[in-house]
Amino acid sequence: MKKALGFGVALAALVAAIPASAVELSIALGSIGQDVQEMRSQLAKFEEETGHTVKLVEMPASTTDQFGQYRLWLAAQNPDIDVYRTDVIWAPQLAANLVDLSEAMADRVDKHLPSVIESQTVDGKLVAFPMYTDAPALYYRTDLLEKYGKEPPKTWTELAETAKEIQDKEREGGNAQMNGFVFQGAPYEGLTCDGLEWVASNGGGQIVSPEGEITINNEKAAQALEMAKGWVGTIAPEGVLAYKEEESRGVWQTGNAVFMRNWPYAYPLSAGDDSAVKGKFDVMPLPAGASGESAACLGGWNLAVSQYSQHQEAAIDLVRFLTSEQSQKERALSTARLPTIPSLYDDPEIAEAQPIVARWDEVVATAVPRPSAPTKGQYNEVSKEFWTAVNETLAGRGNAADNLDQLEKRLRRLKRSGWE
């Protein structure tokens, strides 16, 4: 008996001595800007610290494409991906397949923005933990605005006027490639953000209200979309109808746009050495509509652990590592990704390296969420219907009022007796 006990103790000691046995983890994330490089450097530190190895599964930049694949993999109960980087809007749709992190993160939860934590909590289950939050900015060319004696625009109307004037004069001056404004007009999740911003900034609501009512079919929303339609082919290139984040950044960063709507990740890249706009630009919150206030779409990415992961413990460790204060700070320093820990917005080092971060806490605090919570598992389709309606309006297929009327009908069909 004693012998057996001794053996047991020895075994336990032996097991404890091997540092939780190194495992191989996989993390899936979309690659936009410098996200992949940034993740690589963080993973290297994690590997060194824990002895685990982590494989990166790179995904296309489009949120919509990522979501399609992730949903498929989770449905296939794929054990080969342990950690997913998830968009803020995905929580309700993927909740069933993700591990509840509320216990593992209990000591951390209070440090983060409550609204973000809440967005990742579905029926009391914390399905993902925030890596960074996101709220867009209006990028503008300080040199061009100065050259033509313009002020940064406070409203969309001002933006359109300024953009038109500068674009036309620049083109006359031989700069044929110049565009007034670039944004994300391709039919995908990003357009839902852009469209929601136009509508919300004009007082047109949030597509579906927090109570689940379909509110999109209103005059202010129609006005907002008509306004945006007026930009295509005048201040924005016609190709904007196929632009996602990276395409718009491509035009902006080669010096061919006066204004750009994009996320903060573009800030350090625009300020990079091979950027044509280095030192010639600044950012500000998005303009306001005629009957409303500036509205920024709430974005942000989180980390979730798959229920089908065979190394959930290690995966949770990885999530803890990548969402820690230290990691968030480094991420903000190198790529201007916005932290979800409020105190970091006052961090002098970050303010020095990436001024946009320090200036953005107000924008984040007032950002408008997409209706992923009220529409539950059907958000993806709601969003598809919305971005399709917006894209068609921008492309000149029917007018905004008719398209929104149609959209409302489609959404009603989706909803039937209630969102599920």
Partner 1 sequence: MPTAVKKTGFYALVVFIVLFSVFPFYYAILTSLKSGTALFRINYIPVDFSLANYTNVLTNGVFPLNILNSVIVAVTVVVISLFLAVTAAYALSRINFRGRGLLLLTILAVSMFPQIAVLAGLFEMVRWMGLYNSLFSLIFAYMIFTLPFTVWVLTTFMRDLPVEIEEAAIVDGASPFVIVMKIFLPLMWPALVTTGLLAFIAAWNEFLFALTFVANNDTRTVPVAIALLSGASEQEIPWGTIMAASVIVTVPLIVLVLIFQRKIVSGLTAGGVKG
Partner 2 sequence: MTNVTIGAPPTDKAMAAEKRPATRSKLSRQRLRSAWIFLTPMLIVLALVAGWPLVETIYYSFTNASLSNIAGAEWVGLRNYYEYVDYGDGEGEYFGLFFDSQWWNAVWNTVYYSAISVSIETVLGLVFALVLNAEFKGRSFVRAAVLIPWAIPTIVSAKMWAWMMNDQFGILNDMLMTVGLISAPVAWTANPDTAMWAVIIVDVWKTTPFMALLILAGLQMVPGDVYEAAKIDGIHPVEVFWKVTLPLIRPAILVAVIFRALDALRVFDLIYVLTPNNTDTKTMSVFAQENLFQFDKFAYGSAASTFLFLVIAMITLLYIKVAKLDLGGGR
**304 forms part of the interface with partner 2 (CB under 8 A):** no
Least distance (Å) from partner 1 to the CB of residue 83?
13
26 binds, among partner 1, partner 2, none (CB under 5 to 8 A by kind): partner 1
Compute the Cα dihedral for 194, 200, 201, 203 and give only its sign. Answer: positive
**3 forms part of the interface with partner 2 (CB under 8 A):** no
- Only one of the segments 202-210, 238-246, 265-273, 313-321 lies at the binding site for partner 2 (rule: CB under 8 A); that segment is 238-246
What's the chain's Rg over C-alpha atoms?
23
Least distance (Å) from partner 2 to the CB of residue 8?
41
37 binds, among partner 1, partner 2, none (CB under 5 to 8 A by kind): partner 1
* 217 within 8 A of 294, measured Cβ to Cβ: no
7-28 CB burial, b ≥16 within 10 A, e <16: eeeeeeeeeeeeeeeebebbbb
Least distance (Å) from partner 2 to the CB of residue 337?
26
The C-alpha atoms of residue 148 and residue 288 are separated, in whole angstroms, by: 22
Binding region for partner 1 (CB under 8 A): 26, 30-37, 55-61, 65, 69, 72-73, 76-78, 80-81, 246-247, 249-250, 253-254, 269, 272, 274
388 binds, among partner 1, partner 2, none (CB under 5 to 8 A by kind): partner 2
Q: Which is nearer to partner 2, 257 or 319 (CB)?
A: 257
The C-alpha atoms of residue 360 and residue 286 are separated, in whole angstroms, by: 12
The C-alpha atoms of residue 271 and residue 279 are separated, in whole angstroms, by: 6
Least distance (Å) from partner 2 to the CB of residue 30?
14
59 binds, among partner 1, partner 2, none (CB under 5 to 8 A by kind): partner 1
369: which DSSP letter? P
Least distance (Å) from partner 2 to the CB of residue 207?
17
- Counting residues that bind partner 2 (by CB under 8 A) gives 41
The C-alpha atoms of residue 69 and residue 87 are separated, in whole angstroms, by: 13
Bridge partners (DSSP) of residue 130 are 302
**Among positions 26, 62, 120, 121, the unique one binding partner 2 when judged by CB under 8 A:** 62
375: which DSSP letter? H
* 367 within 8 A of 136, measured Cβ to Cβ: no
* 74 within 8 A of 128, measured Cβ to Cβ: no
The C-alpha atoms of residue 404 and residue 224 are separated, in whole angstroms, by: 11
Least distance (Å) from partner 1 to the CB of residue 246?
4
**192 forms part of the interface with partner 2 (CB under 8 A):** no
Phi, psi of 45 (to 5 degrees): -65, -40
**Among positions 20, 242, 271, 351, the unique one binding partner 2 when judged by CB under 8 A:** 242
Q: How far is CA 223 from CA 102, 199, 201, 205, 399, in A?
A: 43, 8, 11, 12, 10
Kind of pairing, strands 53-59 and 24-30?
Answer: parallel
**177 forms part of the interface with partner 2 (CB under 8 A):** yes
249 binds, among partner 1, partner 2, none (CB under 5 to 8 A by kind): partner 1
CA dihedral angle for residue 257, residue 259, residue 260, residue 266, rounded to 10 degrees: 80
The C-alpha atoms of residue 179 and residue 256 are separated, in whole angstroms, by: 6
H/E run at residue 300: strand 299-305
Q: Which is nearer to partner 1, 122 or 356 (CB)?
A: 356
Compute the Cα dihedral for 5, 7, 9, 15 and give only its sign. Answer: negative
**Among positions 75, 106, 276, 365, the unique one binding partner 2 when judged by CB under 8 A:** 75
Q: Which is nearer to partner 1, 270 or 372 (CB)?
A: 270
Residue 86 DSSP SS3 = strand
**Among positions 129, 181, 188, 281, the unique one binding partner 2 when judged by CB under 8 A:** 188
Least distance (Å) from partner 2 to the CB of residue 47?
33
**384 forms part of the interface with partner 2 (CB under 8 A):** yes
* 10 within 8 A of 39, measured Cβ to Cβ: no
Q: Which is nearer to partner 1, 26 or 50 (CB)?
A: 26
**397 forms part of the interface with partner 2 (CB under 8 A):** yes
**377 forms part of the interface with partner 2 (CB under 8 A):** yes
173 binds, among partner 2, partner 1, none (CB under 5 to 8 A by kind): none
Residues that bind partner 2 (CB under 8 A): 62, 64-65, 67-68, 71-72, 74-75, 93, 96-97, 177, 185-188, 237-243, 250-251, 256, 377, 380-381, 384, 387-388, 391-392, 395-397, 413, 416-417
